[in-house]
Structure 1
Amino acid sequence: MKWGTCFAALAALCLVAADAHAEKAAAGRAQRPGAAQRQDANAWTVGVAGGLLEGTFIRYAADLAKALDDPPNLRVLPMVTFGAVGNVKDLLNLRGVDVAITQADVLDHFRNEEAIPDIANRIQYISPLYNAEVHVYARKEFNSLKDLAGQKVAFNTPGSAANYTGEVIFKRLGVTVQPLLINNAIALEKMRSGEIAAVVHVVGKPNDLFAKFKPEPGFHFLPVEYDAKLSDYYVPATLDAADYPNLIPAGQSVQTVSVPSVLAVYNWKPGSERYRRVARFIEAYFAKFETMQQPPFQPKWQEVNLAGQVPGWTRYKLAEDALAKIRGPEAQAGDQAQLRSQFETFVTARNSGKPPLTESEREALFSAFVKWRGR
């Protein structure tokens, strides 16, 4: 009897302890987010590499988050990063970066200088964005880019748009300078002290660095003349008094060039987790694009042509499908008919007095014509 009583008491104690442990575990589960909730939050989170706080990229990354964020269906996280070149490196290497804002000319850097294998297939684009203008701000004794030859010129920080695009433009125009890679705020202080001649900043206008800048006597923007050497990626542009009333006199403007920015994406394997995230991001981007063309979003969203093509880049298949869906078959048929009409006019003028083209020659020429019109 005594042994029976002991076993009964021990069993009762075990049951009480088990119940207490179960209650504690249940309380712990109630106090922390559920595993399913955490999994959902991570499953639909897309990281967007923006840029430096003083630049324009980060503002557009923030706009994307503001317009597209829809927890738990989609979470968009804008990231402060190092700019155009750095953002493509992040797309290639960082686990949390799925989409990035960069510039059209940057892919050449990875093809030619870093020799990244198959880069045009690995990094593709969703759509072109706005044009970023080249700002060259110099001390009073310098009146042209050629005057800067041999001088110390700041091109922002490593990996930034100014670091890459700025130096490319100077080299193509034959102006050799001593490049410094330092933060713009530090560079402006060195301009004031006479240590450097100019600061180069490649951003969408108007940019706060200059818009809110107290003008220094004689400091001014230098013109960047458009040249055939810049015809692959760059287009003529101006900086106007309306953009920078403190720095440009009323009614005047300064010639410069601009480069298209690009919403880039890593070419994720179909069916993978990150492919599904990007698919949801692209669906929301095209569905809510018109929202971003209204206040309070950045004004240059109004310049963006979703159907625009980027020379040297491949559009991501999901983006191509989304574009076709929103445009519809009638619009595409109308575009094709218009292209055919333009092509016929082109062929008539080109082949005046020459033997007529065969059907295969005509189709090959039309294909080349379509690609040329796309650019």
Structure 2
Amino acid sequence: MKFAAFNSIAIAVVTGLFSGAAGAQEADRNIMASMEGGSQTLIARDIAELGDRCGLPLNVLDSHGSLENFFGVRNRHNTQFGIVDSDILNYLSAYRGSNADVRQAIEGMRIMLPLYDAEVHVVAREGINSLHDLRGKRLGVGQKDGTAYLTSQLILDILHIKVAERVSGSADEMIELLRQGEIDALLKVGNAPMPMFMDGRLGSSFHMVPITDEVLHASYKPVTLPAGTYSFQPAGVRTIASKTLLMTYEYGSEKNAYYKNSCKAVADFTNLIVGNLDELRRVGHHPKWKTLNLTEIPKGWEVGTCVRKGLEPTYEVSCAQQAESAENEQYLDLLHERLKQR
């Protein structure tokens, strides 16, 4: 299967699109999270707070989306963590066997932890009742190379839907263009409820478009947005969701001081997150902590050596010994089982 949006990824790989800003950061540990919509940032700040309590400061770097986060971990100095939507991995997996640039781009990239499901939202004017009604219409898709930009192209390609135009812009711009009739619908990917849809700008003349095409279930999880998730959505709506992941790099060789320090950072924060999951579920800034399932590891991608190190029962973060949890054991069992199959 070919996806038209791959061109933007290929350009990013070849030109080092996100490595230009890859100068040394002020902090020794950094996590990249998309600032738009706020969900990734809230998750990243919760992780950073765990580090602060342990005396391990973690700097949260704003980005324009998952693609930038992926290449940030790949190319930026002292950026050991990035929050990435699984659609990025789907694109890259589709081409890793036939494209040398893609193989180079993903070399060394590792899964740290699966985080949460991000729901696909399609909001439209009257007359658009399915994705197929978007044929020949103008669709808002967020920032270029952001998650929605790539997800929209994936979905349209899978369903063979040709829109008149995919319009890029910020979340606020997309809302205003929809209100003014400059676009017919907009697509966003994020944790429901998304703040951009909750400020009252969208009234009863707009609605959430259901996504029920079963062919999409090979790549996405079918989910339902409960009735009343948004003021303009009185009934439950079927849609799809993609997995959001915490990515890192393979520093396990510890070939120099930088790799050694980065490996320790990955092991420390793996241990901190897993050891404090109960607390994150109770008081974390985002409700998606409550739904996190550590066993949902995407196929075809490896978990980092330093991640496994941080999950070992005997591993201790220097600030305090982390309590071993049942989920830690479950995740370790799954990892060990996967490793035996390699």
TM over 0.5: yes
Correspondent of 1:276 among 264, 271, 291: 264
- Counterpart AA for 2:28: T
1:51-74 deviation line (CA, Å, top 9, x unaligned): 023242112111211233236x31
**Richer in helix (by share):** 1
Instruction: Name structure 1 gaps, 5 residues minimum.
Output: 1-40, 337-366
1:158-214 deviation line (CA, Å, top 9, x unaligned): 221101122211221222212112112112211122111111100011110112333
The answer as to whether partners of 2:204 and 2:232 remain within 8 angstroms in 1 is no
Matches within 5 A, 1:258-277: 258-271=241-254, 272=259, 273-277=261-265
Q: Which residue number corresponds to residue 221 of structure 1? A: 208
Whether 1:248 aligns to 2:236 is no
Secondary structure of the corresponding residue to residue 297 of structure 2: coil
1:81-102 deviation line (CA, Å, top 9, x unaligned): 0111111011112224210001
Whether 1:172 aligns to 2:176 is no
- TM-score norm. by structure 2 comes to 0.77
CA RMSD between the two structures: 2.8
Displacement of 1:130: 0.7
Distance 1:209 1:135, change over 3 A: same
The answer as to whether partners of 1:65 and 1:76 remain within 8 angstroms in 2 is yes
Distance 1:269 1:316, change over 3 A: closer
- Counterpart AA for 1:303: T
The answer as to whether partners of 1:67 and 1:291 remain within 8 angstroms in 2 is no
Correspondent of 2:53 among 60, 70, 89: 70
Distance 1:181 1:214, change over 3 A: closer
Q: Which residue number corresponds to residue 13 of structure 2? A: none
Q: Which residue number corresponds to residue 5 of structure 1? A: none
The answer as to whether partners of 1:47 and 1:79 remain within 8 angstroms in 2 is yes
Q: Which residue number corresponds to residue 304 of structure 1? A: 292
Q: Which residue number corresponds to residue 29 of structure 1? A: none
Distance 1:277 1:295, change over 3 A: closer
Secondary structure of the corresponding residue to residue 131 of structure 1: strand
Secondary structure of the corresponding residue to residue 188 of structure 2: strand
- TM-score norm. by structure 1 comes to 0.71
Q: Structure 2 CA distance, aligned partners of 1:289 and 1:69?
A: 16
Q: Which residue number corresponds to residue 191 of structure 2? A: 204
Secondary structure of the corresponding residue to residue 196 of structure 1: coil
Correspondent of 1:117 among 103, 108, 129: 103
The answer as to whether partners of 2:252 and 2:305 remain within 8 angstroms in 1 is no
Q: Structure 2 CA distance, aligned partners of 1:136 and 1:229?
A: 15
Q: Structure 1 CA distance, aligned partners of 2:216 and 2:121?
A: 19
Displacement of 1:129: 0.6
Displacement of 1:290: 2.2
Q: Which residue number corresponds to residue 140 of structure 2? A: 154
Q: Structure 2 CA distance, aligned partners of 1:215 and 1:192?
A: 7
Displacement of 1:296: 4.4
Count of paired positions: 292
The answer as to whether partners of 1:155 and 1:167 remain within 8 angstroms in 2 is no
Q: Which runs of 4+ in 1 moved over 6 A?
A: none
Q: Structure 1 CA distance, aligned partners of 2:204 and 2:229?
A: 19
